[in-house]
Amino acid sequence: MHTEATGASDHILERIRDEGGRVTVTRRLVVDAMLASSDHHLTANDVVDAVRSRHPDFHRSTVYRTLDRLTDLGVVDRMQMGTGPAVYHLSVRPHRHLVCDRCGAVQEVPPDVLDDVVDQVATATGFVVDPASTPLHGLCAACTTDAGPASTALRPPTRAHA
């Protein structure tokens, strides 16, 4: 049942070894926590909470250090998605990001969704967009249909044109 996650985990741990890193217990826990999360995009605090929910004896600082080291090894990427804290994701599966400006959810889409945009912008302006660091902002499906408590948060004030 967990074969996909296990396969991904093995692949990532192999990558750590390839990069000359050791696979420590903490590194494995951090990778597992990121694979297990529903959207695979976690703040440093989320990772700490996930690791410590299973192993309360790990210090926060150990988890933070591990996250930094995995980032150095290129196994994990740190991304600033919006105004909130940076999120970390595993860099082994190429993908682009959809960020909901209302609830903050991060969704993954295939890496080629922006290819046409990149081409068109390059042709028109010579500017080369880096799609990996260009999250697409908007509203997630739930927020688009939901009339929940936060639904008025981003509605611009109604204003008559002068």
CA-to-CA dists, residue 87 to 51, 97, 109, angstroms: 16, 12, 16
- Nearest to Zn ion of 60, 92 (CB atom): 92
Using the contact rule CB under 5 A, the part of the chain among 3-11, 25-33, 55-63, 133-141 near Zn ion is: 133-141
140 near Zn ion (CB under 5 A): yes
- Among the residue ranges 68-76, 93-101, 124-132, 149-157, the one whose residues contact Zn ion (CB under 5 A): 93-101
Task: Determine the Cα–Cα distance for residues 92 and 77; give it in Å rounded to an integer.
Answer: 9
Residues with Cβ within 8 Å of residue 155, at least 6 apart in sequence: none
Query: Is the separation of the CB atoms in 39 and 105 below 8 Å?
Result: yes
Closer by beta carbon to Zn ion, 16 or else 99: 99
The residues of the shown chain that bind Zn ion, judged by CB under 5 A, are 89, 100, 102-103, 105, 140, 143
